[in-house]
Every structure is written in structure tokens, then in C-alpha cells.
Amino acid sequence: MMGHCLFMRKGEVHTAPIHLPSGYTKLAYIQSSGTQYIDTGVKPDQTYTLKIKFQTTQTSSGGVAVSDQNWQSNGFGLWCNAAVFGDQAMQNAPLNGTDPIEAVLNQSGLTVNGEQIWTPTAATFAVPANMTLMALNRNGSIAEQLSGKLYYAQLYSGDSPIRDFLPCKNASGAVGLYDLVGKQFYGNAGTGAFTGSEVA
């Protein structure tokens, strides 16, 4: 089954077809009802970049892709209305609505749909728990789960790709994300099941 990866390397757009394993179906997005999430297996630090496309109308208490120790303490990622980088945070961020949002977060700042809207100061930190998608992982406890759609998510350490998640359905019919870097399927770590829409 063929699909397209939007970013295979940091900052570079790719349109060449990629191949999912036999039996996998490429999806346009996965959708959570608010009880499903993905554990990325990655603990970001200040060298990381997150690139993500998502859509949610949730306006509070919804983790898009985030893990921390406590609020504004050793954190990295995005909520539906905020961003965190180490001990710094941007609140009331424009990260929800009826249209999909593409965001990039790293030590240079937060960019939303191509516009930089926040620049944190340089920081050194170590996130204590794996980053989760569609939920907050706060020091090992899952909270603030998100209702919405996820179109792709990518993590880099410096210029090195760590995760490149593509929405898909596996051979068993489970909806989740396939990591093109580690060549591994990541299914729902919560309850219920993701839904998804096949690429037209």
C-alpha cells in the first residue's frame, strides 16, 4: 500500500511515494473520541523538534502531543491551547478550531501554519516520561486526553529523525500510526479504538 510522507528529513518536504508493509492501509488521519492515545516511546529534551498536523475543537485540558513533570516543569509539547518548552509556556495558543493545524515546536519557538507565534529562551531540560499523542503524560500518569484528528506527527533530535508517524490500519484492522523510522506499528494505548478515514 502506498502513501506519502510529508517530511522525511527535518525541514524538507517529500512527495515521493513510500511503502507501508503488506496488509497496511494508509489513512488520511486517525481520530480519538477522547479515550485513545499513542505512547511514542520517546522522552524529548531541548534538542527535539516536534512537527505535527492535527484538528480539534477542544479548547482546554487536551494534550495534543506532550509530556512533562509538572506544569511548566521539564515539559515539551502542545496542548489544544498551550505550548511548553522546559519550564516555559505559552498559554492561549491558537491550536484549536474547525480547520487542521500544522505546528512546529523546538528551541527556536512555536510555528503555527507557517507563522512563528512564540519564542522561548534557551533552556536545558529532560522530560521524565514518554511523550504521548492525543493525551498528556505527566510524570508517568496519563491525563487531559484529546478528542480530535491526527494527520501526522514527527520527532527529531537535532537533524536526526526519531519518529515519523503515518496514520494507517494494520492487517488486523486496528487503526493507529506506523513509524517509518523504526518500522513499527503503534496502536491505541488507551481504551476504545481509534477511527480513521482512508485516503481518497
Q: For the chain, which domains are there?
A: 2-194 (2.60.120)
* C-alpha to C-alpha distance for 179 and 145, rounded to whole angstroms: 21
Neighbours of 160 (CB within 10 A): 11
| Per-residue cell: 133 | 499523542
Strands 63-68, 136-138: pairing kind: parallel
Q: What confidence score (pLDDT) does residue 71 get? A: 87
2 φ, ψ (degrees, to nearest 5): -110, 150
Q: Mind listing the pLDDT tens digit of every residue in the chain (200 residues)?
A: 334 444 444 544 444 456 799 999 999 999 999 999 999 999 999 999 999 999 999 999 899 999 999 888 899 999 999 999 999 999 999 999 999 999 999 999 999 999 999 999 999 999 999 999 999 999 999 999 999 999 999 999 999 999 999 999 999 999 999 999 999 999 999 999 999 998 86
